[in-house]
Amino acid sequence: MSRSDLLARHREVMPGWMSLYYEEPVEIVSGRGRHVTDADGNTYLDFFAGILTNAVGYDIPEISDAIRARVDSGVLHTSTLYLIRQQVELAERIAELSGMSRPKVFFTNSGTEANETALMLATQRRRSNQVLALRNSYHGRAFATVGITGNRSWSASALSPVKVSYVHGGYRYRSPFRNLSDADYVRACVEDLREVIETTTAGDVACMIVEPIQGVGGFATPPDGLFGAFAEVLDEYGILLVSDEVQTGWGRTGEHFWGIQAHGVVPSAMTFAKGLANGMAIGGLVAEAELMDCLTANSLSTFGGNPVSTAAATATLEYLLDHDLQGNAARLGARLLAGLRTHAEGSALVGDVRGKGLMIGVELVRPGSAEPAPEAAGRVLELARQRGLLVGKGGLHGNVLRLAPPMTLTEEEAAEALAVLTDVLTTAEKELR
């Protein structure tokens, strides 16, 4: 069956809002290291790590063996009504890494469910459904999470069970505070936070949820310390801070294991998913016991923390730590960032280069203006694909290239990707003029 037949069937049977990359979408059939191969035999360097899911790359024996061992055990007994050794061991490991004083862990199947759980706990605890979120944020696609999404292209808030007020501090490049120094930007956002609490809420806010670097929002990166300054205000009002680490956890941002650590604050809860099991479905949250245990009703997730996903997660986590992939992300990320910033100096197409570690956003604008250039982002994606490089895109206007390769990236691969990217950015800019 040809790829065009498969695409026609996809369009027939699957929803139109499940958009695919490329006019002629690719079908990935295998992978090794940082490379994937499509059904036509083309090999690509994957600079989006699946969708930040394949944190350490493809075909890693330690992880495949851990998954295989569970499957070969013959008992794919899946029920959270019984003790699951792999689940307890993984929870202990994550609790240890959390930096919290009395951490407890709950597993789900996705980032959405992890955030829904955090919101459920915080709103139950305060007996209030008022929360705070950042403008341009994305936290998932279920009722509460889609309801608080602060990004027009992903939101569907009509019937949200949660009341949300939005605060500045996510997407600086297109905010009214864009031209302020870091220190003044932090001050302006803190003032905004206080004003939003005082004027748009009844004062009974359950929690504030933030992405340390906005993922879907185009890898928008706030200055270090911002959320620590927020936490001081939140404390005054008894508001809990929840850090959505779905994209920023596990050392991807280089300097820190959790993205929020750049802000000098330990939140009451951190949610996670994506890269934890290198592609297997798992999510969850780690929270202070006081919050985690505030629920009096029963609650469980049938598949959350199942033996296969938790075994894959433990193997992935050990691999990440044993190979110091956080350090690798810091080193190679700094090189990529510097190379892209150098290119941006001579480019009218690149409006902003931002990010940390292996989470880098390149915002494209119409040459000669600050207007978003989503068509250029689409063109760069296609040109890069033709050169054997897969990158992501996103942002409020769909005009941001998102670079997030597996954290096992090598120096040679980083140099190769940088060369391809600067070439295709130059070509796309010429085409636009």
Per CB under 6 A, residues contacting ligand PLP are: 110-112, 115, 138-140, 211, 215-216, 244, 246-247, 273, 283
Q: How far is the CB of 154 from ligand PLP (least distance, A)?
A: 9
Residue 382 CB-density burial (10 A; 0-12 exposed, 13-18 middle, 19+ buried): middle
CB closer to ligand PLP, 149 vs 422: 149
The residues, any chain, with a CB within 8 Å of residue 33's CB and separated by 6 or more, are 57, 58, 59, 406, 408
Write out the two tokens for 10. 């996809």
CB closer to ligand PLP, 276 vs 417: 276
Q: How far is the CB of 22 from ligand PLP (least distance, A)?
A: 19
Q: How far is the CB of 213 from ligand PLP (least distance, A)?
A: 9
Q: How far is the CB of 359 from ligand PLP (least distance, A)?
A: 11
Q: How far is the CB of 244 from ligand PLP (least distance, A)?
A: 5
- 82: how many CB neighbours lie within 10 A of its CB? 7
Torsion angles phi and psi, residue 180, rounded to 5: -80, 155
Beta strands in 251-373 (DSSP E): 269-272, 283-288, 350-356, 359-364
CB closer to ligand PLP, 115 vs 123: 115
CB closer to ligand PLP, 274 vs 385: 274
- 236: how many CB neighbours lie within 10 A of its CB? 10
CB closer to ligand PLP, 305 vs 339: 305
Q: How far is the CB of 266 from ligand PLP (least distance, A)?
A: 19
CB closer to ligand PLP, 117 vs 247: 247
CB closer to ligand PLP, 240 vs 414: 240
The Cα 321–Cα 91 span in angstroms is 16
Q: How far is the CB of 242 from ligand PLP (least distance, A)?
A: 11
Q: How far is the CB of 111 from ligand PLP (least distance, A)?
A: 2
Q: How far is the CB of 273 from ligand PLP (least distance, A)?
A: 4
- 89: how many CB neighbours lie within 10 A of its CB? 14
Helices (H) and strands (E) in the chain, counts: 13, 15
Helix%, strand%, coil% for the chain, nearest 5: 40, 20, 40
CB closer to ligand PLP, 215 vs 222: 215
CB closer to ligand PLP, 50 vs 339: 50
Contact between 204 and 131 (Cβ < 8 Å): no
Q: How far is the CB of 392 from ligand PLP (least distance, A)?
A: 11
Q: How far is the CB of 270 from ligand PLP (least distance, A)?
A: 11
The Cα 77–Cα 82 span in angstroms is 10
CB closer to ligand PLP, 223 vs 283: 283
Helix 325-345 vs helix 307-322: crossing angle, to nearest 10: 70
Give me the residue label for tokens 């490049």: 173
From the list 127, 151, 129, the residue with the least C-alpha distance to 140 is 151
Contact between 5 and 12 (Cβ < 8 Å): no
Strand order through the sheet with 269-272: 103-108, 283-288, 269-272, 240-244, 207-210, 130-134, 163-167
- 195: how many CB neighbours lie within 10 A of its CB? 11
Give me the residue label for tokens 């960032």: 337
CB closer to ligand PLP, 192 vs 244: 244
